[in-house]
Structure 1
Protein backbone atom coordinates (compact mmCIF):
# COMPACT_ATOMS: atom_id res chain seq x y z
CA UNK A 1 0.00 0.00 0.00
CA UNK A 2 1.44 3.35 -1.07
CA UNK A 3 0.23 6.65 0.44
CA UNK A 4 1.15 9.97 -1.17
CA UNK A 5 0.43 13.24 0.64
CA UNK A 6 -1.18 15.84 -1.62
CA UNK A 7 -1.53 18.36 1.21
CA UNK A 8 -1.80 18.50 4.96
CA UNK A 9 -3.23 21.84 6.13
CA UNK A 10 -6.52 22.47 7.87
CA UNK A 11 -8.93 25.35 7.23
CA UNK A 12 -7.36 26.95 4.12
CA UNK A 13 -4.43 26.35 1.75
CA UNK A 14 -1.35 28.54 1.61
CA UNK A 15 0.98 29.45 -1.24
CA UNK A 16 3.12 26.47 -0.25
CA UNK A 17 0.63 23.73 0.61
CA UNK A 18 -2.84 22.36 -0.05
CA UNK A 19 -5.36 21.27 2.54
CA UNK A 20 -5.63 17.60 3.54
CA UNK A 21 -5.64 15.10 0.72
CA UNK A 22 -4.14 11.64 0.25
CA UNK A 23 -3.68 9.30 -2.69
CA UNK A 24 -3.73 5.65 -1.63
CA UNK A 25 -2.61 3.05 -4.16
CA UNK A 26 -2.64 -0.73 -3.96
CA UNK A 27 -2.71 -3.47 -6.61
CA UNK A 28 -3.35 -0.90 -9.34
CA UNK A 29 -6.32 0.67 -7.51
CA UNK A 30 -6.17 4.42 -6.81
CA UNK A 31 -8.21 5.82 -3.94
CA UNK A 32 -8.37 9.54 -3.22
CA UNK A 33 -9.09 10.41 0.42
CA UNK A 34 -10.43 13.88 1.27
CA UNK A 35 -9.80 16.06 -1.82
CA UNK A 36 -9.63 19.35 0.09
CA UNK A 37 -8.81 22.84 -1.20
CA UNK A 38 -5.98 22.91 -3.80
CA UNK A 39 -5.36 19.15 -3.85
CA UNK A 40 -6.36 18.65 -7.48
CA UNK A 41 -3.22 20.17 -8.99
CA UNK A 42 -0.76 17.94 -7.08
CA UNK A 43 -3.01 14.98 -7.86
CA UNK A 44 -2.96 15.73 -11.59
CA UNK A 45 0.81 16.08 -11.46
CA UNK A 46 0.83 12.36 -10.63
CA UNK A 47 -1.97 10.86 -12.72
CA UNK A 48 -4.81 11.87 -15.06
CA UNK A 49 -8.20 12.55 -13.50
CA UNK A 50 -9.69 9.53 -15.28
CA UNK A 51 -7.31 7.19 -13.42
CA UNK A 52 -8.79 7.89 -9.98
CA UNK A 53 -10.83 4.77 -9.14
CA UNK A 54 -12.77 6.02 -6.11
CA UNK A 55 -13.01 8.91 -3.62
CA UNK A 56 -13.58 8.71 0.13
CA UNK A 57 -14.72 11.90 1.90
CA UNK A 58 -14.73 11.92 5.69
CA UNK A 59 -17.02 14.96 5.99
CA UNK A 60 -18.43 17.89 4.09
CA UNK A 61 -16.20 20.77 5.17
CA UNK A 62 -14.55 22.27 2.06
CA UNK A 63 -10.99 21.83 3.31
CA UNK A 64 -11.73 18.10 2.95
CA UNK A 65 -13.87 17.95 -0.18
CA UNK A 66 -13.81 21.16 -2.29
CA UNK A 67 -11.57 19.80 -5.05
CA UNK A 68 -13.91 16.91 -5.76
CA UNK A 69 -15.92 19.34 -7.91
CA UNK A 70 -13.07 20.29 -10.30
CA UNK A 71 -11.99 16.63 -10.35
CA UNK A 72 -15.43 15.70 -11.67
CA UNK A 73 -15.21 18.49 -14.25
CA UNK A 74 -11.78 17.28 -15.33
CA UNK A 75 -13.24 13.83 -15.94
CA UNK A 76 -16.54 14.60 -17.63
CA UNK A 77 -15.50 17.58 -19.75
CA UNK A 78 -12.39 15.85 -21.08
CA UNK A 79 -14.21 12.61 -21.88
CA UNK A 80 -17.99 12.34 -21.91
CA UNK A 81 -17.60 8.54 -21.87
CA UNK A 82 -15.51 8.53 -18.67
CA UNK A 83 -17.21 6.11 -16.24
CA UNK A 84 -18.90 7.57 -13.14
CA UNK A 85 -16.50 8.00 -10.25
CA UNK A 86 -17.55 6.10 -7.10
CA UNK A 87 -17.74 8.62 -4.23
CA UNK A 88 -18.25 7.59 -0.60
CA UNK A 89 -19.32 10.31 1.85
CA UNK A 90 -21.68 10.91 4.79
CA UNK A 91 -25.27 11.14 3.60
CA UNK A 92 -26.00 14.65 2.32
CA UNK A 93 -22.53 15.89 3.18
CA UNK A 94 -21.65 16.87 -0.37
CA UNK A 95 -25.02 18.15 -1.56
CA UNK A 96 -24.11 21.84 -1.50
CA UNK A 97 -20.74 21.27 -3.15
CA UNK A 98 -22.24 19.23 -5.98
CA UNK A 99 -24.97 21.84 -6.51
CA UNK A 100 -22.65 24.78 -7.25
CA UNK A 101 -22.13 23.92 -10.93
CA UNK A 102 -24.29 24.34 -14.00
CA UNK A 103 -27.35 22.15 -13.59
CA UNK A 104 -26.68 18.61 -14.79
CA UNK A 105 -23.08 19.22 -15.84
CA UNK A 106 -21.42 16.71 -13.50
CA UNK A 107 -24.44 14.57 -12.64
CA UNK A 108 -23.18 11.65 -14.70
CA UNK A 109 -19.59 12.03 -13.54
CA UNK A 110 -20.03 10.34 -10.16
CA UNK A 111 -21.93 7.61 -8.36
CA UNK A 112 -22.65 8.55 -4.74
CA UNK A 113 -22.62 5.98 -1.94
CA UNK A 114 -23.97 7.38 1.34
CA UNK A 115 -21.94 6.26 4.34
CA UNK A 116 -23.64 5.09 7.52
CA UNK A 117 -21.35 5.16 10.59
CA UNK A 118 -20.44 1.67 11.71
CA UNK A 119 -20.90 0.02 8.35
CA UNK A 120 -18.19 -2.06 6.70
CA UNK A 121 -17.81 -2.52 2.97
CA UNK A 122 -15.36 -3.50 0.26
CA UNK A 123 -13.72 -0.77 -1.81
CA UNK A 124 -11.38 -2.06 -4.48
CA UNK A 125 -8.74 -4.14 -2.68
CA UNK A 126 -9.65 -2.67 0.72
CA UNK A 127 -12.07 -3.61 3.46
CA UNK A 128 -13.34 -0.39 4.99
CA UNK A 129 -14.60 -0.17 8.58
CA UNK A 130 -16.12 3.10 9.74
CA UNK A 131 -16.77 5.06 12.93
CA UNK A 132 -18.76 8.20 13.67
CA UNK A 133 -16.37 10.69 15.26
CA UNK A 134 -17.29 14.00 16.96
CA UNK A 135 -17.14 17.11 14.78
CA UNK A 136 -19.43 20.02 13.91
CA UNK A 137 -20.81 18.06 10.96
CA UNK A 138 -21.07 14.29 10.51
CA UNK A 139 -17.53 12.94 10.23
CA UNK A 140 -16.77 9.31 9.52
CA UNK A 141 -13.31 7.98 10.32
CA UNK A 142 -12.24 4.91 8.40
CA UNK A 143 -9.91 1.95 8.59
CA UNK A 144 -8.68 0.70 5.21
CA UNK A 145 -7.44 -2.88 5.45
CA UNK A 146 -5.47 -4.38 2.58
CA UNK A 147 -4.00 -7.85 2.26
CA UNK A 148 -0.84 -6.93 4.18
CA UNK A 149 -1.32 -3.44 5.66
CA UNK A 150 -3.84 -1.26 7.49
CA UNK A 151 -4.34 2.49 7.13
CA UNK A 152 -6.43 4.34 9.73
CA UNK A 153 -7.78 7.82 8.99
CA UNK A 154 -9.64 10.07 11.42
CA UNK A 155 -10.91 12.94 9.29
CA UNK A 156 -11.56 15.75 11.82
CA UNK A 157 -12.50 14.75 15.33
CA UNK A 158 -12.71 15.64 18.95
CA UNK A 159 -11.95 13.14 21.72
CA UNK A 160 -13.59 9.73 21.36
CA UNK A 161 -12.90 6.25 22.76
CA UNK A 162 -13.49 4.95 19.24
CA UNK A 163 -10.21 6.48 18.09
CA UNK A 164 -8.27 3.71 19.80
CA UNK A 165 -10.29 1.01 18.06
CA UNK A 166 -9.98 2.82 14.74
CA UNK A 167 -6.19 2.90 15.07
CA UNK A 168 -5.70 -0.52 16.69
CA UNK A 169 -2.41 -2.03 15.41
CA UNK A 170 -2.63 0.09 12.23
CA UNK A 171 0.49 0.26 10.10
CA UNK A 172 -0.18 3.98 9.64
CA UNK A 173 -2.52 6.32 11.49
CA UNK A 174 -3.27 9.56 9.63
CA UNK A 175 -4.66 11.75 12.39
CA UNK A 176 -6.04 15.27 12.59
CA UNK A 177 -3.81 17.38 14.83
CA UNK A 178 -4.94 20.96 14.29
CA UNK A 179 -3.13 22.27 17.37
CA UNK A 180 0.07 21.06 19.07
CA UNK A 181 -1.23 21.03 22.66
CA UNK A 182 -3.83 23.61 23.65
CA UNK A 183 -7.17 23.65 21.84
CA UNK A 184 -9.07 26.97 21.89
CA UNK A 185 -12.38 26.85 23.74
CA UNK A 186 -14.35 27.36 20.53
CA UNK A 187 -12.87 24.14 19.10
CA UNK A 188 -12.86 21.92 22.19
CA UNK A 189 -14.72 18.68 21.54
CA UNK A 190 -14.56 18.99 17.75
CA UNK A 191 -10.85 19.09 16.93
CA UNK A 192 -7.73 17.36 18.24
CA UNK A 193 -4.21 18.23 19.33
CA UNK A 194 -1.01 16.45 18.44
CA UNK A 195 -0.56 15.66 22.13
CA UNK A 196 -3.90 13.83 22.14
CA UNK A 197 -2.98 11.96 18.97
CA UNK A 198 0.18 10.70 20.64
CA UNK A 199 -1.78 9.30 23.57
CA UNK A 200 -4.37 7.39 21.57
CA UNK A 201 -1.80 6.19 19.03
CA UNK A 202 0.16 4.71 21.92
CA UNK A 203 -2.94 3.08 23.41
CA UNK A 204 -3.82 1.63 20.00
CA UNK A 205 -0.26 0.39 19.33
CA UNK A 206 -0.26 2.09 15.94
CA UNK A 207 3.03 1.42 14.16
CA UNK A 208 3.46 4.88 12.62
CA UNK A 209 1.68 8.25 12.87
CA UNK A 210 1.18 10.94 10.25
CA UNK A 211 -0.09 14.23 11.68
CA UNK A 212 -2.34 16.22 9.36
CA UNK A 213 -4.73 19.20 9.31
CA UNK A 214 -2.25 21.47 11.11
CA UNK A 215 -3.47 25.04 11.41
CA UNK A 216 -1.63 27.15 8.80
CA UNK A 217 1.50 28.63 10.33
CA UNK A 218 1.96 25.86 12.91
CA UNK A 219 5.56 24.73 13.34
CA UNK A 220 5.63 21.04 12.33
CA UNK A 221 8.45 20.36 14.80
CA UNK A 222 6.24 21.62 17.63
CA UNK A 223 3.45 19.24 16.60
CA UNK A 224 5.85 16.29 16.46
CA UNK A 225 7.30 17.17 19.88
CA UNK A 226 3.80 17.32 21.37
CA UNK A 227 2.82 13.93 19.94
CA UNK A 228 6.14 12.48 21.07
CA UNK A 229 5.16 13.06 24.72
CA UNK A 230 2.75 10.14 24.48
CA UNK A 231 4.01 8.06 21.57
CA UNK A 232 7.44 6.53 20.96
CA UNK A 233 6.95 5.30 17.38
CA UNK A 234 7.76 7.08 14.12
CA UNK A 235 5.93 10.40 13.62
CA UNK A 236 5.71 12.47 10.44
CA UNK A 237 3.81 15.62 9.52
CA UNK A 238 1.85 15.59 6.26
CA UNK A 239 3.85 17.55 3.70
CA UNK A 240 3.26 17.73 -0.06
CA UNK A 241 4.90 14.82 -1.86
CA UNK A 242 5.64 12.76 1.23
CA UNK A 243 5.27 9.06 0.40
CA UNK A 244 4.90 6.15 2.80
CA UNK A 245 4.79 2.52 1.67
CA UNK A 246 3.13 -0.02 3.96
CA UNK A 247 3.34 -3.80 3.90
CA UNK A 248 5.23 -5.90 1.37
Structure 2
Protein backbone atom coordinates (compact mmCIF):
# COMPACT_ATOMS: atom_id res chain seq x y z
CA UNK A 1 0.00 0.00 0.00
CA UNK A 2 1.36 3.43 -0.94
CA UNK A 3 0.12 6.71 0.57
CA UNK A 4 0.96 10.03 -1.12
CA UNK A 5 0.24 13.56 0.10
CA UNK A 6 -1.11 16.11 -2.39
CA UNK A 7 -1.62 18.77 0.27
CA UNK A 8 -2.15 19.20 3.98
CA UNK A 9 -3.12 22.83 4.71
CA UNK A 10 -6.17 23.43 6.85
CA UNK A 11 -8.86 25.97 5.87
CA UNK A 12 -7.16 27.46 2.78
CA UNK A 13 -4.04 26.69 0.74
CA UNK A 14 -0.94 28.69 1.61
CA UNK A 15 1.20 29.97 -1.28
CA UNK A 16 2.50 27.03 -3.28
CA UNK A 17 0.53 24.58 -1.15
CA UNK A 18 -2.77 22.68 -1.27
CA UNK A 19 -5.41 21.74 1.26
CA UNK A 20 -6.15 18.19 2.34
CA UNK A 21 -5.67 15.65 -0.44
CA UNK A 22 -4.18 12.17 -0.44
CA UNK A 23 -3.85 9.19 -2.78
CA UNK A 24 -3.79 5.57 -1.65
CA UNK A 25 -2.69 2.89 -4.12
CA UNK A 26 -2.55 -0.88 -4.02
CA UNK A 27 -2.60 -3.48 -6.81
CA UNK A 28 -3.22 -0.76 -9.40
CA UNK A 29 -6.32 0.59 -7.63
CA UNK A 30 -6.18 4.31 -6.78
CA UNK A 31 -8.28 6.08 -4.17
CA UNK A 32 -8.33 9.85 -3.82
CA UNK A 33 -9.10 10.99 -0.27
CA UNK A 34 -10.43 14.52 0.42
CA UNK A 35 -9.86 16.51 -2.80
CA UNK A 36 -9.55 19.92 -1.11
CA UNK A 37 -8.58 23.27 -2.63
CA UNK A 38 -5.67 23.14 -5.13
CA UNK A 39 -5.22 19.36 -5.00
CA UNK A 40 -6.30 18.54 -8.57
CA UNK A 41 -3.36 20.27 -10.34
CA UNK A 42 -0.98 18.31 -8.13
CA UNK A 43 -2.82 15.07 -8.83
CA UNK A 44 -2.66 15.67 -12.57
CA UNK A 45 1.13 15.98 -12.56
CA UNK A 46 1.38 12.21 -12.16
CA UNK A 47 -2.03 10.73 -12.90
CA UNK A 48 -4.81 11.35 -15.43
CA UNK A 49 -8.23 12.25 -14.07
CA UNK A 50 -9.68 9.03 -15.49
CA UNK A 51 -7.14 6.94 -13.55
CA UNK A 52 -8.81 7.67 -10.21
CA UNK A 53 -10.88 4.62 -9.25
CA UNK A 54 -12.78 6.02 -6.23
CA UNK A 55 -13.01 9.15 -4.08
CA UNK A 56 -13.52 9.32 -0.31
CA UNK A 57 -14.63 12.55 1.35
CA UNK A 58 -14.50 12.85 5.13
CA UNK A 59 -16.84 15.87 5.34
CA UNK A 60 -18.36 18.68 3.34
CA UNK A 61 -16.07 21.61 4.13
CA UNK A 62 -14.54 22.91 0.89
CA UNK A 63 -10.93 22.52 2.06
CA UNK A 64 -11.71 18.79 1.90
CA UNK A 65 -13.86 18.49 -1.23
CA UNK A 66 -13.80 21.63 -3.44
CA UNK A 67 -11.61 20.05 -6.13
CA UNK A 68 -14.10 17.24 -6.63
CA UNK A 69 -15.82 19.64 -9.03
CA UNK A 70 -12.89 20.14 -11.44
CA UNK A 71 -11.99 16.45 -11.15
CA UNK A 72 -15.47 15.49 -12.33
CA UNK A 73 -15.32 18.11 -15.10
CA UNK A 74 -12.01 16.69 -16.31
CA UNK A 75 -13.56 13.24 -16.44
CA UNK A 76 -16.91 14.02 -18.09
CA UNK A 77 -15.43 16.43 -20.64
CA UNK A 78 -12.66 14.04 -21.63
CA UNK A 79 -12.65 12.30 -25.00
CA UNK A 80 -14.00 9.76 -24.40
CA UNK A 81 -15.72 10.56 -21.07
CA UNK A 82 -14.56 8.49 -18.11
CA UNK A 83 -16.91 6.02 -16.42
CA UNK A 84 -18.99 7.19 -13.47
CA UNK A 85 -16.72 7.77 -10.47
CA UNK A 86 -17.75 6.18 -7.15
CA UNK A 87 -17.67 8.86 -4.42
CA UNK A 88 -18.16 7.97 -0.74
CA UNK A 89 -19.08 10.63 1.83
CA UNK A 90 -21.36 11.27 4.81
CA UNK A 91 -24.98 11.83 3.75
CA UNK A 92 -25.47 15.29 2.25
CA UNK A 93 -21.79 16.23 2.51
CA UNK A 94 -21.40 16.72 -1.24
CA UNK A 95 -24.59 18.67 -1.90
CA UNK A 96 -22.86 22.07 -2.12
CA UNK A 97 -19.90 21.06 -4.28
CA UNK A 98 -22.10 19.06 -6.67
CA UNK A 99 -24.41 22.08 -7.00
CA UNK A 100 -21.60 24.20 -8.49
CA UNK A 101 -22.62 22.92 -11.95
CA UNK A 102 -25.98 22.34 -13.52
CA UNK A 103 -26.96 18.69 -13.22
CA UNK A 104 -26.59 18.09 -16.96
CA UNK A 105 -22.90 19.13 -16.89
CA UNK A 106 -21.86 16.26 -14.62
CA UNK A 107 -24.64 13.82 -15.53
CA UNK A 108 -23.36 10.26 -15.52
CA UNK A 109 -20.00 11.33 -14.12
CA UNK A 110 -20.34 10.09 -10.56
CA UNK A 111 -22.14 7.75 -8.19
CA UNK A 112 -22.57 8.95 -4.60
CA UNK A 113 -22.49 6.39 -1.79
CA UNK A 114 -23.32 7.33 1.81
CA UNK A 115 -20.71 6.39 4.40
CA UNK A 116 -22.37 4.62 7.31
CA UNK A 117 -20.42 3.77 10.48
CA UNK A 118 -20.43 0.06 11.20
CA UNK A 119 -20.97 -0.92 7.56
CA UNK A 120 -17.85 -2.28 5.77
CA UNK A 121 -17.26 -1.30 2.13
CA UNK A 122 -15.19 -3.09 -0.49
CA UNK A 123 -13.24 -0.83 -2.87
CA UNK A 124 -10.98 -2.80 -5.18
CA UNK A 125 -8.44 -4.56 -2.91
CA UNK A 126 -9.39 -2.39 0.08
CA UNK A 127 -11.83 -2.71 2.95
CA UNK A 128 -13.17 0.63 4.18
CA UNK A 129 -14.67 1.21 7.62
CA UNK A 130 -16.13 4.59 8.61
CA UNK A 131 -16.27 6.15 12.08
CA UNK A 132 -18.55 8.98 13.17
CA UNK A 133 -16.25 11.65 14.64
CA UNK A 134 -17.19 15.08 16.04
CA UNK A 135 -16.73 18.19 13.89
CA UNK A 136 -18.72 21.30 12.98
CA UNK A 137 -20.43 19.17 10.30
CA UNK A 138 -20.81 15.38 10.00
CA UNK A 139 -17.32 13.89 9.63
CA UNK A 140 -16.26 10.34 8.83
CA UNK A 141 -12.97 8.97 10.08
CA UNK A 142 -11.74 6.26 7.71
CA UNK A 143 -9.87 3.00 8.20
CA UNK A 144 -8.57 1.40 5.00
CA UNK A 145 -7.05 -2.07 5.02
CA UNK A 146 -5.79 -4.38 2.31
CA UNK A 147 -5.73 -7.59 4.30
CA UNK A 148 -2.40 -6.92 5.98
CA UNK A 149 -1.80 -3.19 6.27
CA UNK A 150 -3.98 -0.50 7.80
CA UNK A 151 -4.25 3.22 7.11
CA UNK A 152 -6.32 5.36 9.49
CA UNK A 153 -7.41 8.93 8.70
CA UNK A 154 -9.31 11.19 11.07
CA UNK A 155 -10.69 13.86 8.76
CA UNK A 156 -11.29 16.83 11.09
CA UNK A 157 -12.32 15.89 14.60
CA UNK A 158 -12.50 16.90 18.20
CA UNK A 159 -11.78 14.53 21.11
CA UNK A 160 -13.59 11.18 20.85
CA UNK A 161 -13.18 7.70 22.29
CA UNK A 162 -13.70 6.33 18.78
CA UNK A 163 -10.36 7.77 17.65
CA UNK A 164 -8.38 5.02 19.38
CA UNK A 165 -10.61 2.37 17.83
CA UNK A 166 -10.18 3.97 14.40
CA UNK A 167 -6.41 3.98 14.72
CA UNK A 168 -5.83 0.80 16.72
CA UNK A 169 -2.71 -0.99 15.45
CA UNK A 170 -2.62 1.06 12.23
CA UNK A 171 0.54 1.07 10.14
CA UNK A 172 -0.08 4.77 9.45
CA UNK A 173 -2.29 7.29 11.23
CA UNK A 174 -2.97 10.54 9.35
CA UNK A 175 -4.30 12.86 12.03
CA UNK A 176 -5.77 16.35 11.91
CA UNK A 177 -3.50 18.68 13.91
CA UNK A 178 -4.77 22.19 13.24
CA UNK A 179 -2.97 23.67 16.25
CA UNK A 180 0.34 22.56 17.80
CA UNK A 181 -0.58 22.34 21.48
CA UNK A 182 -4.05 23.62 22.31
CA UNK A 183 -7.27 24.17 20.39
CA UNK A 184 -9.06 27.45 21.23
CA UNK A 185 -11.97 26.88 23.60
CA UNK A 186 -14.70 27.63 21.07
CA UNK A 187 -13.38 24.96 18.68
CA UNK A 188 -12.13 22.44 21.25
CA UNK A 189 -15.05 20.00 20.72
CA UNK A 190 -14.51 19.99 16.94
CA UNK A 191 -10.78 20.17 16.15
CA UNK A 192 -7.54 18.59 17.38
CA UNK A 193 -3.98 19.61 18.15
CA UNK A 194 -0.72 17.86 17.33
CA UNK A 195 -0.48 17.05 21.04
CA UNK A 196 -3.87 15.34 20.80
CA UNK A 197 -2.70 13.40 17.74
CA UNK A 198 0.40 12.17 19.56
CA UNK A 199 -1.69 10.94 22.46
CA UNK A 200 -4.07 9.10 20.14
CA UNK A 201 -1.19 7.51 18.23
CA UNK A 202 0.43 6.30 21.45
CA UNK A 203 -2.81 4.93 22.88
CA UNK A 204 -3.65 3.14 19.64
CA UNK A 205 -0.17 1.67 19.14
CA UNK A 206 0.25 2.94 15.59
CA UNK A 207 3.48 2.32 13.69
CA UNK A 208 3.78 5.77 12.10
CA UNK A 209 2.09 9.15 12.57
CA UNK A 210 1.56 11.87 9.96
CA UNK A 211 0.27 15.25 11.14
CA UNK A 212 -2.02 17.07 8.73
CA UNK A 213 -4.39 20.06 8.43
CA UNK A 214 -1.95 22.42 10.15
CA UNK A 215 -3.07 26.04 10.00
CA UNK A 216 -1.49 27.61 6.87
CA UNK A 217 2.06 28.88 7.40
CA UNK A 218 2.30 27.17 10.80
CA UNK A 219 5.92 26.12 11.47
CA UNK A 220 6.30 22.36 11.58
CA UNK A 221 8.70 22.17 14.52
CA UNK A 222 6.23 23.10 17.31
CA UNK A 223 3.66 20.61 15.99
CA UNK A 224 6.21 17.81 15.80
CA UNK A 225 7.50 18.58 19.28
CA UNK A 226 3.98 18.59 20.74
CA UNK A 227 3.13 15.21 19.19
CA UNK A 228 6.46 13.73 20.32
CA UNK A 229 5.61 14.44 23.97
CA UNK A 230 3.45 11.30 23.90
CA UNK A 231 4.35 9.46 20.71
CA UNK A 232 7.83 7.99 20.26
CA UNK A 233 7.43 6.44 16.81
CA UNK A 234 8.23 7.81 13.33
CA UNK A 235 6.60 11.20 12.96
CA UNK A 236 6.27 13.77 10.15
CA UNK A 237 4.04 16.50 8.72
CA UNK A 238 1.90 15.85 5.65
CA UNK A 239 3.69 18.03 3.10
CA UNK A 240 3.03 17.84 -0.66
CA UNK A 241 4.92 14.96 -2.23
CA UNK A 242 5.46 13.00 0.98
CA UNK A 243 5.04 9.30 0.21
CA UNK A 244 4.76 6.47 2.71
CA UNK A 245 5.03 2.84 1.62
CA UNK A 246 3.38 0.45 4.02
CA UNK A 247 5.25 -2.88 3.69
Q: What range is the shorter-chain TM-score in?
A: over 0.9
Partner of 1:46 in structure 2?
46
Any unmatched runs of 5+ in structure 1?
none
Partner of 1:222 in structure 2?
222
Residue 74 (structure 1) aligned with residue 48 (structure 2) = no
Matches within 5 A, 1:154-173: 154-173=154-173
Larger displacement relative to structure 2 (50-59 or 118-127): 118-127
Return the TM-score normalized by structure 2: 0.98
The DSSP-based 3-state class of the residue aligned with 1:105 is helix
Partner of 1:5 in structure 2?
5
1:198-242 deviation line (CA, Å, top 9, x unaligned): 011101000000000000121111100000001000011000101
1:130 CA displacement:
1.2
Query: Counterparts of 1:206 and 1:197 in 2: how far apart (Å)?
Result: 11
Matches within 5 A, 1:144-159: 144-159=144-159
Contact 1:40/1:67 (CA < 8 Å) preserved in 2? yes
Query: Counterparts of 1:112 and 1:102 in 2: how far apart (Å)?
Result: 16
1:26-81 deviation line (CA, Å, top 9, x unaligned): 00000000000000000000100000000000000000000000000000011353
Residue 111 (structure 1) aligned with residue 147 (structure 2) = no
The DSSP-based 3-state class of the residue aligned with 1:152 is strand
Partner of 2:198 in structure 1?
198
Partner of 2:142 in structure 1?
142
Query: Counterparts of 1:118 and 1:197 in 2: how far apart (Å)?
Result: 23
The DSSP-based 3-state class of the residue aligned with 1:129 is strand
Any unmatched runs of 5+ in structure 2?
none
Larger displacement relative to structure 2 (41-50 or 96-105): 96-105
1:81-133 deviation line (CA, Å, top 9, x unaligned): 31000000011110111011133101211011011122211111111111100
Query: Counterparts of 2:120 and 2:59 in 1: how far apart (Å)?
Result: 17
Query: Counterparts of 1:40 and 1:55 in 2: how far apart (Å)?
Result: 12
Partner of 2:60 in structure 1?
60
Query: Counterparts of 2:79 and 2:112 in 1: how far apart (Å)?
Result: 20
Larger displacement relative to structure 2 (201-210 or 73-82): 73-82
The DSSP-based 3-state class of the residue aligned with 2:78 is coil
Contact 1:118/1:132 (CA < 8 Å) preserved in 2? no
- Structure 1 stretches of 4+ with a deviation exceeding 3 A read none
Partner of 1:126 in structure 2?
126
